[in-house]
Structures are given as C-alpha cells and as structure tokens.
Copies of this chain bind each other. A is one copy, B any other.
Amino acid sequence: MDLTGSSIVAGQVRKTAGAEFYSYNPSNGERLQPAFKEAGADLVDLAVTAAERDFVAFRQLPHSRRALFLEAVAEQLRVIEDQLVGRANAETGLPQARLQGELTRSVNQLLMFADFIRDGAFLQTQVTPALPDRQPLSRPDLRRTEVPIGPVAVFGASNFPLAFSVAGGDTAAAFAAGCPVIVKGHPAHPGTCELVGRAIVAALEQCGLPRGIFSLLQGGSHQLGAELVTHPLLRAVAFTGSYAGGKALFDIAAQRLEPIPVFAEMGSVNPVFLLPQALIEGSDSLASGYAESVTLGVGQFCTNPGLLFAPEGPELERFVSAVVEHLGNLGAGVMLHAGIKQNYHSALETLTVQPGVERLSVSAASSVAGGCLATPALLRTTGERFLANPLIAEEVFGPAAVIVACSSRQQQLQCAERLRGQLTATVHAAAAEAAPCQELFSILERKAGRLIYNGFPTGVEVCPAMIHGGPFPATTDSRTTSVGTEAIRRFLRPVCWQNAPPEILPPELR
C-alpha cells in the first residue's frame, strides 16, 4: 500500500492544498517520503459534518454490529502488520519488537471493547417500576440507559503511535460507545496514521457502515486542533500528550458557546516511596527495577517514575549507587523526535541548576550527542529542598529521575502531601511496614488514579479494573480513565425513559 500523504475525510482520501510537512527517522535523521499536507478548516468542517450526519445511523446499530466493526478494525490492522510496524519503526525509532507488542495491545483493546459491548450490559440499565396506587402521588415507570454523546475528536500521542493513536484506546472506546471519531493525526508519525486510518476505512467497507463515522485529519498546527475543537457539532475531545497541549484544548473547549468535555491525559511524575525496611531488604532488586522502569521506552511513558522519596542514610547511598550503575548499563536510547529530545535536555538543565539539586554522573555506554539519542539521568536532592521548590516536582519527559532523600518519616509524608495530581503513586514496604504504608497511601489516594504496592508504574494493563487517570494536572477529569473498559463512560450519557411502552423503548429497556 503506497502512502498518499493525504487526510481521510468520511472514509475517503482527500488531497488538499495545505502546507507540506514530513516525518523524520529519529534514528538517523532521514526525511521520510511522502510529503503530507496539512488539513485546513474546510476539511474539519467536512469531517465533523459527515460525522454528525452518519451518527444518526451509527448510534442506532445493534451493539453486535458495532462489535463486529471493532473486530474488523483489529483484523485489518493485522493484515497490514508488517508495513505498519516498519513505518512506525522508521517514524518513531521505537524497536520493532516493542511496536509488535503495541500492535497486539491495540488489537486486544479493540477486541476487549467488542466483547464488552456485545451483550449491552455495559449500559448499566436500571428500572424503577411504576407504583400506580402510591399515595399521595403515583410513581411512573422509569427506565435508565445510556446513549453515545456524538462526534468525538481524538488527539493521539507521539509515544504510543499505535495504542494511543489513530486506532488506539480512545478511538476504540468512542466507537464502542457509538460515537463517530475524527482523529487529529500526530505530525511525528503521519505515515503510521495514514496506514491505520486506511485500515479503519477498510473495516467500515467490510461491515457496510456509513463512512462519515471516521475521519483522519493530518497536520501539526495548533490552528488545526483549535478548528476541530471549536466546531459546533463536535461533542467531546480525547487527548493524550503534554500538559501544554491538553490544557490548551481544555481552555478552548471551555470557552465555546456550548462547552464540551475534554478528556486530556497529560502525564505526571509518578512518585515512588521507599519505606526504610523495604529499602534494606530489597536494595539491589529495587535499584534494578527502578532503573528499568525509568528507562523503559527511553523514559517516554506517561507512567515513568520520575520522583523517588527514600529515607536518607547508608542504605539509600547503596541504592543510589546501584541505580547509577544500572542506568549506565541500560545505556542511551533514541527518543521519538528531535523536539522531545530538545525538551528533555532543557528540562534536565532547568532541574540541574536548582539549588540543592545534584546531578549524578551516569556513564552510559553510548552517551554520545547528536540525533535523537538520549542518555539516562539521575539527580538527587533533599526533602527540605523538595518542599521548598515546586519546580523539582515538574515532569521531565525522558529517562530521568530525581531521588529525594528524606530526613524523617514525617518529611516523607510532607513530600507526599505536597504532590499535585498523578496518574500513579507507588509505595515499597516490607511486610512489617503495613502501618506506615497505609499512612502514606491515605495521602496518595487523594493524589493518584492508580496506587501500586511493591511494584513499578510502567505497564498499564488493559482490563476492567484499570484506572489510567487521576486528579489535575494528570488529567482534566479525575472521574475518568483512558485505559480499560471504563474508558467508554467518557463518551456516554444517561437517558431516563418515563412510561414509554415496549415498542417505543430502546431494545435494552424492553
């Protein structure tokens, strides 16, 4: 399949006259063909208008047919697997094996939602029966179900070109809910986006579904994003990416004549707390586990554990030396694109010059400059400095971490209190440390969407119990998750039917 460099509007490739842009191979700087065209306001309007038009038919499909469509998308992704993994590898520098795993995850997400919606139980229907003889007033028959909210815009992330992109979790959840999707493709992997977009179109054709329920708009300008989010027929936005990007879309959406929800997952520093006995008992395995979690995917995970709080003392010194050594062995890696690499370096620079922050020397085997290669970094400071300087709690997107040496248990608790909203928070505790562990978690429970005991936060299981979300600024809506079956709730709203006879009620309420 040859790439066209075009957007896809209502299931059709649309050549336009917009500005050209290219993707680049971060491993060698090579400019990749073809040129892509930036979509403009005309395509936004065509896409959202078609989505609204075909929403009428799409939302009324039986759930079993929506499930078949999700399965068809999964099947079409498998058909193009080799080309897709190859292109994604060229555009992101992520290893083939990782991309193959990510494709499997994307396919499994689609299949999970297909299973989840098939029997209609996800609608959580509720019936309050009539009480015609109740005094002083009779009670009507009331039946509650859920309906899809309408056209949804999905902004994919650069760091998961498959699982959080064109056919990623947000798109799967929105389709499962019955909502048309307009994807704003990530400009760092437009070829990957086009391949996946065309796989979705193939699935639409295979299932005989209206084409307006899917569009892919290519481009990198803020204007394109703003045009999409302000379109009057759009009903919600899902976003995975930076705080700056997510917050900008949130603000635009809140200022519309009719505000719409923005479900932005904007990452966090994912604090890890070591309790004293856990540090003694687990020292080296803790150090290797932590170093691996910090460098997984060259640190480009929303759940990267960028802050660690531990009691000061000789055990911590041993732990720090071991982390430095492991980071050195894990070595440098290719980041997703030049912009991310630059941001990583400047964020590291900012951290390093904070008073009382020390950068430890990590002798990574391939710590050469140039290209998108990035070396792991370890910094350390004290609890006192951390409490005095909110900048130390800022996310550094990349393979870096700050170790905070706490002078007392009380100070460790104070550091926990000081944290802003997080996707995850982790405590390592020995068996005998249940009480201090609970005390920490009682603080962290207010800060994070996922609480991890004696583990590391990278690795987000796609399953019913998962919450990938958390209080602001980790996300813009702490009541939601962007991973797992509950991610569908973002795109549904409840409706209550009063006294309607069976022939009028939707099937699930009869």
Contacts and interface: CB of A to CB of B under 8 A. Distances in A.
Contacts of A504: 429, 434, 437-438, 441, 453
A492 B465 contact: no
Task: From A449, A454, A473, A479, name the one whose CB has the most chain B CB atoms within 10 angstroms.
Answer: A479
B142 A461 contact: yes
Interface string A417-455: 000110000000100001001100110011011111111
Contact of A448 (B143, B467, B495): B495
A149 B446 CA distance: 8
B465 A143 contact: yes
Given A442-B60, A478-B493, A259 B472 contact: yes
A147 interface: yes
The complex is assembled from copies of this chain, and their number is 2
Task: From A476, A486, A498, name the one whose CB has the most chain B CB atoms within 10 angstroms.
Answer: A498
A127 B493 contact: no
A459 B139 CA distance: 10
Task: From A450, A476, A500, name the one whose CB has the most chain B CB atoms within 10 angstroms.
Answer: A500
A469 interface: yes
Contacts of A500: 441, 451, 453
B494 A453 contact: no
Given A149-B478, A434-B503, A438-B504, A464 B126 contact: yes
A452 B493 contact: no
A277 to B, nearest CB: 15
A226 interface: no
Given A142-B461, A259-B250, A467 B494 contact: yes
A209 to B, nearest CB: 18
A128 B464 contact: yes
A254 interface: yes
Contact of A142 (B261, B448, B466, B503): B466
A464 B471 CA distance: 28
A95 to B, nearest CB: 14
A496 interface: yes
A57 to B, nearest CB: 11
B499 A494 contact: no
Interface residues of A, number: 73
Given A453-B501, A465-B142, A499-B452, A493 B472 contact: no
Contacts of A137: 459
Interface string A67-100: 0000000000000000000000000000000000
A223 to B, nearest CB: 22
Interface in A464-510: 464-467, 469, 471-473, 476-479, 481, 486, 489-490, 492-501, 503-504
A231 interface: no
Nearest to A477: B261
A258 interface: yes
A450 B492 contact: no
Interface string A251-291: 10011001111000000000000000000000000000000
Given A126-B464, A434-B503, 4 more contacts: A56-B442, A144-B467, A449-B495, A453-B499
